[in-house]
């Protein structure tokens, strides 16, 4: 493993779950934004980027459905509904790829990441029965 990969692996091992989720959302949003901003040269990367974003949202939605999820029920339901929207939008983009269509996915990821970073105490909430 090269030095950069070792550093990255060590860095992620020390981050809490909320920080990891926030970074993953930012990373996928950044990739989608780079494709959007450089559509002519990076459009070929779209399918892979959308797949990574879909996998991330699948993980997030699954976590919201776990019995031991510490988030309040209302937030859990809202996040699952947001994930469903992301999935539907992803399918629409695959069917008709346009750079301007990526903006909504980028904004969702960045806004959720921002919310996570502003409220790290959310990870410490007690489970709701």
What does the pLDDT profile of the chain (129 residues) look like in tens digits?
Answer: 455 454 344 444 445 777 888 999 999 999 999 999 999 999 999 999 999 999 999 999 999 998 888 889 999 999 999 999 999 999 999 999 999 999 999 999 999 999 888 765 544 443 333
pTM for the model: 0.79
Domain that holds residue 109: 3-124
Confidence at residue 119, expressed as pLDDT on a 0 to 100 scale: 63
76 in Cβ contact with 69 (< 8 Å): yes
Within-domain flag for 26: yes
3 state SS of 23: helix
105 in Cβ contact with 53 (< 8 Å): yes
Sign, CA dihedral 66-67-68-73, equals positive
User: Which CATH number covers residue 67?
Assistant: 1.20.120
Within-domain flag for 22: yes
Count of structural domains within the chain: 1
Within-domain flag for 129: no
Within-domain flag for 62: yes
Within-domain flag for 82: yes
Confidence at residue 58, expressed as pLDDT on a 0 to 100 scale: 96
Within-domain flag for 31: yes
* Distance of alpha carbon 115 from alpha carbon 54, whole angstroms: 20
């Amino acid at each position: 493993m090269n030095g950069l990969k070792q550093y990255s692996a060590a860095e992620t091992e020390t981050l809490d779950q909320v920080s990891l989720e926030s970074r993953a959302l930012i990373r996928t949003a950044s990739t989608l934004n780079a494709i959007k901003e450089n559509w002519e040269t990076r459009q070929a990367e779209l399918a892979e980027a959308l797949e990574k974003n879909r996998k991330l949202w699948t993980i997030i939605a699954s976590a919201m459905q776990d019995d031991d999820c510490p988030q309040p029920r209302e937030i859990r339901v809202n996040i699952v509904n947001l994930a469903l929207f992301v999935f539907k939008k992803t399918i629409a983009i695959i069917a008709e790829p346009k750079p301007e269509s990526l903006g909504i996915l980028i904004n969702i990821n960045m806004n959720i990441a921002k919310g996570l970073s502003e409220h790290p105490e959310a990870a410490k909430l007690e489970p709701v029965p």
